Structure formats: C-alpha cells, structure tokens
Amino acid sequence: MGDDTRRQKRRQKIAKNPKNVRFEDLRRLLEDYDFELKRSKGSHHSFVGYVGDEKTTVVIPYKRPLKEVYVKKVLAILDEIEPLDDDADELDEGETEDDE
C-alpha cells in the first residue's frame, strides 16, 4: 500500500467520525500533507503548511478528544490541497475499478 493510499484511508477514517479524533491522529494527517509543527504554547499547537502558494497556519488545542470544529477545519483545508477520493475505501486491495 502506497503512502498516498495510507494518507487517503487515514483522512477518510477521520472524516467519517470527526467527533472522536485523537490529537495524534490529526497531527499525523497534517504531517502527511507536509504541515510542520512550528510552535506549541501551552496547549495550543501551530502547524504551518502551504495551500497552493499560500502559507497557511492551523492552530489546534491539545485536548482529548479534539472538538469537531477543529477536525472539520483541517479537513476543509486538506480538501483545498487534494479533494478526498471517495472511491478509495470502496475498492478492496488489489481490485481495480474494471473488476467491479
């Protein structure tokens, strides 16, 4: 399974249940899209990345579980970078669209 497939599956899992997401999972998803943790002050963590040519900062408070609003904000930013491929979870490993 390639990195892109893992990234898509992780993103789909988070998108399906945005109310129950751990900080670590959202952090890994942001890092999959080349966002870097630039600063943490208190419980707030700032991630910096690029959406197109524009530098974007996302601030997420470290809480368990994360509030849904922060998860949805990250998902919206990632949709701007790469639209979510809804077919990725419908295809079994090794199966192609022609096999269906």
pLDDT in tens, 30-66: 999 999 999 988 899 999 999 999 999 999 998 888 9
Q: Which residues face 55 on adjacent strands?
A: 50
Interval 14-33: pLDDT, tens: 999 999 999 999 999 999 99
Tokens 């999972």 -> residue? 25
What ranges do the domains of the chain cover?
3-88
- Say if pTM beats, i.e. exceeds, 0.85: no
Residue with tokens 């990725």: 88
